Amino acid sequence: MDTTDTTPIIPKPVKQKRFASFRKSLTDFFASLYNINSFIIRFFKEAFLPPYEFKEIIRQCYETGVRSFTLISLTGFIVGLIFTKQSRPSLAEFGATSWLPSLVSIAIMRALAPLVTALIAAGKVGSSIGAELGSMRVTEQIDAMEVSGTNPFKFLVCTRVLATTLTIPILATYTGLISILGGFLNVYVNEGTSYRTYIGQVFDPLSFIDFTAALIKSIVFGFTIGIVGCYQGYNSSSGTEGVGKAANGAVVTAMFLIFIEEITIVQITSWFR
Partner 1 sequence: MEKQKAPIDHKNAVIRVHGLKKAFGDYEVLRGINLELYQGENLVVLGRSGTGKSVLIKVISGLLQADAGTVEVLGQNIDQLTTRELQALRIRIGFSFQNSALYDSMTVRKNLEFPLVRNRRGIGRKEIDTSVERVLEAVGLAQTINQMPSELSGGQRKRIGIARTLILNPEIMLYDEPTAGLDPITCIEINELINEVQERYKTSSIIITHDLTCAKQTGDRIAMLLDGKFQREGSFEHVFDTDNARIKPFFDYNFIK
What residues make contact with partner 1 under the rule CB under 8 A? 51, 135-136, 139-141, 143-151, 155
Write down the least CB distance from residue 139 to partner 1, Å. 6
Write down the least CB distance from residue 135 to partner 1, Å. 7
Residue 79 or residue 142: which is nearer to partner 1 going by CB?
142
Write down the least CB distance from residue 150 to partner 1, Å. 5
Write down the least CB distance from residue 257 to partner 1, Å. 28
Q: Are 186 and 97 in contact (CB under 8 A)?
A: no
The interaxial angle of helices 159-191 and 195-203, nearest 10 deg, is 130
Start-to-end CA distance of the chain, whole Å, equals: 82
Write down the least CB distance from residue 89 to partner 1, Å. 50
Write down the least CB distance from residue 142 to partner 1, Å. 9
Q: Are 250 and 129 in contact (CB under 8 A)?
A: yes
- Considering only the C-alpha atoms of the chain, give the largest distance between any 2 of them, rounded to a whole number of Å: 97
Residue 51 or residue 192: which is nearer to partner 1 going by CB?
51
Collapse the DSSP code of 100 into the 3-class scheme (helix H, G, I; strand E, B; otherwise coil) and give the result.
Answer: helix
Residue 135 or residue 165: which is nearer to partner 1 going by CB?
135
Residue 7 or residue 148: which is nearer to partner 1 going by CB?
148
Residue 156 or residue 258: which is nearer to partner 1 going by CB?
156
Distance CA(113)–CA(210), nearest Å, equals 12
Residue 43 or residue 77: which is nearer to partner 1 going by CB?
43
Residue 163 or residue 172: which is nearer to partner 1 going by CB?
163
Distance CA(240)–CA(265), nearest Å, equals 37
The alpha carbons of the chain give a radius of gyration, in whole angstroms, of: 24
Distance CA(158)–CA(234), nearest Å, equals 12
DSSP 9: -
Find the angle CA(31)-CA(37)-CA(38) to the nearest 5 degrees.
Answer: 90
Residue type, position 150, single letter: T
Write down the least CB distance from residue 188 to partner 1, Å. 45
